[in-house]
Amino acid sequence: EKVYLIRRGAVRLSRVYESGEEITVALLRENSLFGVLSLLTGHRSDRFYHSVAFTRVEMITAPATSVRQAIENDTSVGLLLLQGLSSRILQTETMIETLTHRDMSSRLVSFLLVLCRDFGVPGEQGITIDLRLS
């Protein structure tokens, strides 16, 4: 029922399935959106997600109804939302490409490259991915 915008930090978005297995569905960074499903469908979603901060996080939250009203009043708000959703789709496509049709070592290398691109901090000894991942 709310839309979340990450202004600073990194967040892991996951789902827990009936089997009890928790699956990471997205690793989000600054200027990423989540919680937009109720905004798009117009009603509360039956899909529940968990979000866990990897780092110190600053977020802006807004009720989905307020965001919908803002889009109706100003088309540039809708364009910004569309850009955020497009970014999430591209991230998802990249992860699907990374995790399919490859052996384990290739998947790991591809995943590390994605993490370097999205969360890496350049330093004297290379790029540091400052996230606590298992």
Number of domains in the chain: 1
pLDDT in tens, 21-72: 888 888 888 888 888 766 666 666 666 788 889 889 999 998 888 888 998 9
Between CA 107 and CA 95 the distance in angstroms is: 10
Domain housing 90: 2-129
Q: Which of 79, 77, 59 is nearest to 69 (CA)?
A: 77
CATH number reported for the structural domain that contains residue 18 in this entry = 2.60.120.10
pLDDT in tens, 71-80: 899 989 889 8
pTM over 0.85: no
Residue 112 lies in a domain: yes
Q: What is the largest CA-CA distance in the chain?
A: 49
Residue 134 lies in a domain: no
